[in-house]
Structure 1
């Protein structure tokens, strides 16, 4: 008797064919199972199929089948708020303002459901007919984290708002950003405003008051001799009458209609519609005067890369300082680092003089050199090493500052008219204008200021 045993390529099927010679007896089911086991088939054996193989000897019968692993089910997060939103205040037909409803922004109140998660389901392992385990692939388990202003449920499958505000998905975290809407002037009725979100002010900010926000500050009215600080943008629909103490400061950009006698600092750009008179304005990137009759007169205006304005100075030859290719505070930082290096060098010199005295005594006294002085010598040497390390670190900082200054020589100043009395600076090269220049594009070439 011959029994032909065959396996599929993936070892998920096993077939046999029983071939009898004349006078031979048929095998039993148990004998076939033993035969299969010797052939390495020990999973998914079908006894009924073995009976069929005996009954229909001479035919090829599938007698064992493997089991494929079940597919896993990926986890899914469903957000109950739009992932892309735009901050814009909203009014109803009666003109009433909802303090937390900003129109296109999706607003929530404390306790609102923000997101749900359906957890992943692991697939089940399978086996081929030899008994080898077939492992399923791992399911995707999406990030599901509650950030500031949001709370994860105890079962970890829901996120709720803890405060009223605007939900956002930031770096994979569900957070609630709070936005404050003020429908009046910032004055004695409100006091100073400190807010960890964005602030929309329908009125003005009066002299002596301040507004600080972690987000943007948007002001419909005017800013007097007041302080407005934002880590985001500062947008003033009217202008800024800064006086002696007024300040606008933005981590990103400042956008204002005009600036009179004020201080303005922006990490990115400063956009001014009309004029900037007798003001200190500093931008990390650009200062763009957008109006047709825009003018910079008096004061000190500095931009990291570029200044654009129709007119700079005035026909009265008003002293006006404009600088491009200047990193705000870089000059002062370089001066501070340089002075610190000089101070450390002086300390190193003193310490080395003291070290030389100890070494001289040690050489003379040899084994009689006192232990206390030996310890003092060791401390002096450690101090010298510390000073040298500090100097090397500061030297690297200085080199980076100098490198940045060189890179900023690509700055430029563009103006239709530059009047006499204006001092133009690109990077660290300055020139006072003595004659009216029209259609000026000022930049550095070959180490000199060029006017095109």
Structure 2
């Protein structure tokens, strides 16, 4: 079949192949307009085409294939079908009804029985694919939804009036046995779908997400179509590494003193009174001292795993030490040592005290740091530092050596990988021996018990290393923009130090102090 013929060339189709016979040399750029007139021609041999147009040796040369007027392609999931019309644009517009019927007939012949669309051929372009059918994908069901009891935010609130001031916060949140701790809705079934062949696609039910809690402190029960989580014991509600738990809670209605002696307790402690001079109190979890008059000359106030809140402040006279693994919240600190793993948060002032933490936050509206030493890893904030008598006050942000920390992280990551490999090996040994447990000899049983003990030690080593790595990563994450911020006045004789760079103020100033390009901006 001759497609086009003139004095220069002829285009012929034979069994879907396109042949070009050139009688006289013909410019390839000009030949391009000929190809555009015939959208059914798909060039597959450009180099042969170029040679034929240049040599004009009157020999038939295969240059491409002759496409069908309509092509339909179904994707491998049978969820979508696209069509291409290989015809001049004006023909597509003139013969819309014809092409619509052809498209429908071809689709049905290919087995498409679902999701056929009525194409808008006025927007279709010659040789360009467009969608003619779409299946309905299966929709996964909604996952179960979990809601937990909310522990009040630990944020000190300073209230002032003509007669008194208060440094209040919700600190230890106590629950009773049987209390509601959370609830979970059931996952919902999904919505099935269909592919282009009309086949049903099964939908997944939503994921049944598990509660995250210590199994010793709560139980699950079905109530009104929901799964309810209720407490099995009374105590102080806590979230440890994202896991809900309840710690034992000791409430001391009066003071810690002669009647109680020094107190040490595995759990949380609430002291309604104060800590008498010379006495100590240690809690493994959170510890609060509620007396409005504060603490005077106590010896040691410590939380080995949690935080400490002292409502009335501290008069330490160089004796009192307050130490918390997490944070310390105190109204004021007078001649004492406060050491926290996270934050020291002070409402009114610190006078002649030593403060050590990642961040030291003294109320930026009226809070004062007068005398003593405040040493933080990342940030110190206060309204005023020093006083009008120019009492020496040291504000130090140490920062971290990121290069050394990253190098240490690499070492620990290598150790962690080695421990994991050992865990895999020992686990395989334990699992193998467990399968033959009943037939093991005494020596083999001893080997089995030894392997279990080794696995337990390796698991502990893995968790310790992982905690150290996470702690280091958190340090790097928060080690940004180490700064000392004084919002109202930093008096003369205030030492401002960030890293190894410091300056002793000789005049009053105010602002946010940082090291920029190796220079302290004071």
TM-score, with normalisation over the residues of structure 1?
A: 0.50
